[in-house]
Each structure stands twice: as C-alpha cells, then as structure tokens.
Structure 1
C-alpha cells in the first residue's frame, strides 16, 4: 500500500476520533452552537497555504491561524499567529486548543498562552513530528476548527516484508542492567612477583645457563661464576669444621679422664672451652655462606672452592639478562630479572569524571580485542595522585594468567561493573539507530514503522535504560532495524520539517 494514498483515509479516521475525544471532554453547555463546518486541507499538508511567518496558514471565513513548530528554542513547541481579514490579531483575543494524535499513543491536548505577537503551546512537541491534529479556536463567541496531518520518520512495511528482512519485534518492558564504565588500559607485570637477581658476592662469570624470555623453575641455575671471596669463605668454613672436630675429640677424651679421676677437672674445663669456641666459629662460617645463598656443605667435595651458582629465587620468565660469559660482576649488580606471570595486572586509566564510579574490590571484565581475549578480575588498587601528563588515575585489575595468554604491553579495555539495577524500561543497544543527532528505535504500529527518539540513561553494554520516548508495552524492531533506517533515508522522510 502506498503511504501517501493511505494517509488521507487514515487521517480522516483519526481526525474523527480526535474530534470525538475533544467533544466528550467539554461539558454540554460549553459546546459552541454557532460554529460552521471545519475546513480541512488535504491531510498530508500539500494544499496548506504558506503564511507570512513561513508556517502553514489555515483560513475559515475571515479568520486565519498560522501554525509553526518552532525548533530553535530550548525545546520544540507550537506557535500560532492569529489573523482577521489578513491582519494580525492580538493573541490574547483568541483561545486555541490543539488535539494531537500519534500512532500508538493517546491523544494529547495543548493549551496556549499569548506571548509577543503569537500564541505559544504549554508543552513540548516531541520528535518525530508525525501526527494528526485538530485546531480548535474561539474568537468573539464563534468557534473555528481545522485539521492537519504530517508524516515524518514513518515507513510502511507489511508483515511478510518485515519477516523477509529478518526484522524481529519485542515489547518494551523492564530489565535488570549492570551499569558499567569502559576505560582504556595496558597489561603490565605484577610488581609483587618481579625479582631482581644479584650475585651477592663479586666474581667472574664462567657460564650463562638461561637467557631472556626463557621459563625457569624455582632454584634453577641461571649462571655460574667463580669467586675468590667464596673460595676464602669456604676455606674458612673447612678450617673451622676441622677445628671443631679436633676440639670435640679432645673434649670427649678429657671428660672421660676427668670422670675416671685420672686428670684434673681444670684440664676438662679448658678442653670444653676450646670445643665451645670451635663450635661457635664453625657456626659463624656456615652462616656466612648461607647468607650468600650457598649451602655450607655444597662444593666442598670438588677441587674448585670458588665455583658459585646463581639460582632463580622464584619460578617464572626471565625478562632481563645483564651478564655475559667472562664478565666480572660486582656483588650488587642485577644480573637477571625474573617475573612470575601466573598473575598479571591491567593498568586502567581512570579519567577524573569517572573516579567516583571506581572502587577497590569492583568487578572488571578486561578485553584484549586484538588478541580475542576476555578475562574477569577485580580492582585491587587505585592510585591516589593523578598522572602529571595524562591527568588520569590508574586502577590495577589483577588477572589470572596461568595459561600465560596475557602478555605485558597488550592494549586492553576494561568494563568496570556497578551493582545490578532494576529499571522500569530498557531496550537492547542493538535496536538503536542514529538518525542525525538522535538515537531512535522504530515502533511498530499496524503496517507502519515509525521512529521514536529516546532519552537514554544507564547502560551495561547490552541493555540501556529508556527515560523517555517509548512506553511500556510498545512493540519495536529489535533486530535488523538498519533496514528500516535505510528505507526512511531512501524515502526522504527521516526528518522532513
């Protein structure tokens, strides 16, 4: 069915309904009895005359009303300019009411008040400006009526065509949404699991066993070096241990002789003191080696007392190596950096406007879209100070990384989730289309789709709260709505006024 051919029939029916609603709303004593039959132009407005203000001019007898939808103010509204015999009338001399009917919505009455040289409506005229209306005016005890209709943002599409295009419908209703804020970030190492490995004694590197990027286990040898200091410490330990063994033998003999009354007690006490001193000296020599990470008994069976093995204190990945074979290293030089990557951090940049929505313990969904990775985590820390250059705070999200899929340096986005909120009206984000500067859905009314601009609230990335523009129970296109938008653009009726 052609839209323009069907509109006169549809408009006539709606105007009749509107008039009925308007008449019922008045008391019988208020019904004017002198009014002549209203003069209607064609319902699509094509026959309406242009008025001096550039609006649509409606004339009955010597009275005229020029209708304008004024859109340059704070909100769109009706303005009416009254005329008598082609000359402007004082707006306060005329009382006007407009009854407006939209598809799928009840009739709405607009009252008017005088302002400057026109009458202004008491309420906003919402988008789209697609409606049937009846203008009722009273001047000098005579009533006048005009009817008018216009179409905007509407396309006709039968059920068969709708199903063929894969367009599905849904009824607007309540939903539970989980508001979220999406922020950029980067994967970094967990600073708590990074270890800087130092030799703890000076020496010469004789072999490098592990290199940058290799995985290592806890206690695994990273490099081998020879240290004169270690040789000296081991020699001291060997001497101390031998002295202790000798002192132990002397002590045991003197104790037995004293107990058998062969020697004096004084000889036993001297032997005991020497044994105690040898034991303390041996213990100190062992602790010097243990402080360097060397087991006192290791390396003593071989001939090379200077041999020293640098071992990894944790399991992880070698992320830096700063030593080569033949290099002389100092005791405090960082020769390896090993990182445990079983957990990883996402450093999320938080803009000042979003800081009030972020807190420690908050759930987060981290996406690395370039690598098709998604993982859940929690905010463990938020920096107190803002970065001097970016003026952002950093929120750290800890992620499990036992599979080592996440690598430092990856750019990510994080959805930081708020608590679930029940909202009275919501629609899927997939149902929205942008027309000019408005986000709209397409309501279904009989065989017509008509755009409904929405004022939106909170969103969770799947559903979005509807504050105004759609009523509960209204059916709308929930999938493939871009096809309807394309038909509107092709027909040139997306925004006609």
Structure 2
C-alpha cells in the first residue's frame, strides 16, 4: 500500500491520542476560535461585537472594494454614536511573535477605518483598545485562520519535513528528447585484406576487444596461406557480418567495433527554443531505463535541421564508464540556458492551493500556519517568492498536504 495513503489517518489517530473530551489536551489542538467555542456575537454590519461598561465597538475587516482594513462602529447601549465620539486601535500578534498595529480614523459614513492593510492570513491574537466618552476600554481574543497544531511526534510519523526559506537560483530550462550515438571517428569497420574462405572467428557481438586482438583467420585465395585479421581499435563489437566457412570478399566488412567509453547525446530542440540554446551550457541527461542521471555540457549546436523531425540538433558528450548507456537509446534531457539568482525560493513540493491562494505552510514550534505567496519565476524544482515569506521561515517542504487537510478538517480555513 502506498505509504502516503496512510498519512492522514495516522495524523488523525495521533491527534485523537492527545486527549479526550474530559482532558485539557484536546484544548491544545483547537484550531480556530469557534471550532470548539461559541461563535462571537455579530453586529448589523457583520462585525464582532465587543461590549464593556455599556459601550459597544463593532469591529470588522472590510474587504469589499478595498484591501482588507479594520473598520469599526461605536455604540452607547443600543444607540449608534458618531465616529468622532471615540478612538479605536487594534494591536495584532502573529504567529512567531510578529506585532503590528492598526489605528482607525473617523470617516464621513459614521464608521472608523484604518488606512493600513491587514495582510493575509488573518490569523493572530487581537487586542482592541478604545476610548469612548473619556472611558478606556480593552478587549483581547484569538482570531485564527489557516492554523493548526501538530505535536512533533505526530509530524515525524506523518513524514512532515521543513526547511528554511532562503536565496537560490531559478533556471531557464528546456526539456528535450535525445538519442545516444557512437562518437564519430571511434567506430571501425574491420575488413578482410584479401578474398578467401574464413577459417576462424574469435569475437562475437557484445564482446569487448582491445586494439591488435585477433578477430578472424582468413585463407587467401591468392597465396593459399592464412592471415589474421586484428582489431584496429579497442571497443565493443557491435556487429559480426561473417561465419566460419563463408568466403570473405576483398574489403568486405567482417566486424563493426565502436569505442563506447564516450557517447554523443544528440538532443532535438524544436521551434523558437533553438534560438536560446548555445554551446557551453549545462545539460542533465536521464537514462529512461533506470532513471540514472548524468551531468554534462552542451558542446555544439549543429547547423541545419534534422530532416525527419525538422528539429535543431544540439550535441553533448557523455561518459559511459559503466557501459550502461547504450547507442540507439532514447534519453530525456534538461538544458539549462541561464540561472538567475533569487532572494528567496522554495521548492515546488512545498506549494499548495489554499482558498484562492498559492501558498505554503510554515512551522513555529508545534504550530503550522498558511502563508499566501506572491510568486515570481519558477523552474522544474523551485519557485521565486516575491512576498509572503521572510528568509529563515521554516517551510513545510514534504507532505504539506497533510497540514492543509488538518486545517480544512478543523474548520480553520477562514475566520475573522
């Protein structure tokens, strides 16, 4: 059974083991205000009602037609007050101890609104301070979204792995197909010097031979004496075109031998991509039979196009010390045209879709929280982060979907 299919049940079982309904341990795994607590009272504008000493502040995050900003309405008893009757400030503490402050100012519509944006996720501990009719009022409460708690041993069992966000490079890469061929000039066709019957053959297809090694014995029709045909180069016998007793004609090919210690990789590049390919750039070649990867450098881009495919052929050399790269085999390759430095990158494996965001999850202690990202360039392995993370943030890079599933299960995906 695929191990990944067991991860979410394992996580659920482990979390259940943290406590039952009669123990405080369950409280440690509350994901969001409202998941196990009474939903806060809401006012006529949909905001949270904060009440004290006969005064009420209705507080909301305005998102209609504006970037998210705090908005408030003031009341004495059940009667609205003008926006100028008091002041409101909201202090937030985000996961990891990051603090921010939003001061609300009166508006013509009778509300107060901050001019500072409340960044996503809207997940923080909140302290609201107000002064109405000369009275100082204060409220504090948690307001979490996209956050969950996973004990360390459960995270380990679930395969969660984190790594710090940091600088890296984004590669301009081209995925192409290719074919392995013997290097020109390292293939020899072994011929009989004089016609006559073949008396002995001493090599078979696939044999490794050395230069000067006897390959065949032929009886000359002219002198009626035998002579030896030797290997002109060291290499592997690719073909044997003779049999004992048959007659070798003059200059007929008896064997084909190739030095396969190095092979050419002919890569087929199509269309406009060919304009970006140049000699000297790195190439990663993958053997399709077993996934083995080799790294080499592009040597040249051949003039003209391949007749059958109308592609441009880019050629690299490949060391074949183990002999497992075989001429005629298809390979896939990645040509890296350029590498651009980026201030902050994360692996593609860290990305998840959360609500309508491309996001990652960060870990602080045993807490995990979503981070919506603005992304830049990407390659086959990593993506540039333009905003949403700070260098050193501990990002979940493996099994991040487990965190996403736990947040969605808890109902903490979106709560103000």
Q: Shorter-chain TM-score: what band? A: 0.5 to 0.7
Gaps of 5+ in 1: 12-40, 83-95, 138-144, 232-301
Counterpart check, 1:155 vs 2:158: no
Contact in 1 for aligned 2:192/2:248 (Cα 8 Å): no
Which residue in the other structure is 2:363 paired with?
A: 443
Task: Identify if the C-alpha distance between structure 1 residues 134 and 213 changes in structure 2 by more than 3 Å, giving closer, same or farther.
Answer: same
Matched, 1:434 2:352: yes
* Distance across 2 between alignment mates of 1:100 and 1:220: 83
Q: Which residue in the other structure is 1:189 paired with?
A: 181
In the other structure, the counterpart of 1:326 is: 246
How far residue 151 of structure 1 moved from its aligned partner, in angstroms, is 3.0
- The residue number in structure 1 matching 2:256 is 337
Structure 2 residue aligned with 1:381, among 292, 300, 312? 300
Report the structure, 1 or 2, having the larger helix content: 1
Aligned partners of 1:51 and 1:66 also within 8 Å: no
Distance 1:225 1:165 in 2: 70
Equivalent residues in 2 for 1:305-320 (5 A)?
310-320=229-239
TM-superposed CA distance for 1:456, in Å, is 4.7
The counterpart of 1:216, out of the listed 209, 216, 219, is: 209
Asked whether the equivalents of residues 286 and 293 of structure 2 are also in contact (C-alpha less than 8 Å), the reply is yes
Cα deviation for residue 196 of structure 1 reads 5.2
Q: State the SS of the aligned residue for 2:264.
A: strand
Query: How far is 1:341 from its partner?
Result: 0.3
Q: CA deviation at 1:49?
A: 4.8
Task: Specify whether residues 195 and 450 from structure 1 end up closer, same or farther in structure 2 by C-alpha distance, changes over 3 A only.
Answer: same
Are the aligned partners of 1:348 and 1:394 in contact in 2 as well (CA < 8 Å)?
yes
What is aligned with 1:493? 412
Match of 1:15 in 2: none
How many Å separate the matches in 2 of 1:215 and 1:484? 55
Aligned length: 383
Q: Secondary structure at 2:370's aligned position in 1?
A: strand
Within-5 A mapping of 1:98-497: 102-104=94-96, 106=98, 127-131=120-124, 150-158=143-151, 172=164, 174-175=166-167, 177=169, 179=171, 181=173, 183-186=175-178, 188-195=180-187, 197=189, 199=191, 203-207=195-199, 209=201, 210-224=203-217, 231=222, 303-304=224-225, 310-324=229-243, 325-326=245-246, 329=249, 331=251, 334-350=253-269, 358-368=277-287, 370-371=289-290, 373-385=292-304, 393-408=312-327, 409=329, 411-414=331-334, 416=336, 421=341, 423-427=342-346, 432-436=350-354, 438-444=358-364, 447-456=366-375, 465-477=384-396, 481=400, 483-494=402-413
Gaps of 5+ in 2: 1-23, 74-87, 131-137
CA contact (8 A) 2:362 2:369 kept: yes
CA distance in 1 between counterparts of 2:173 and 2:197 reads 52
Q: Deviation per CA, 1:329-356: give whole Å up to 9, x if none.
A: 475x655432110112333444667657
Q: CA RMSD in A?
A: 6.1
Whichever of the two has the greater Rg, that structure is 1
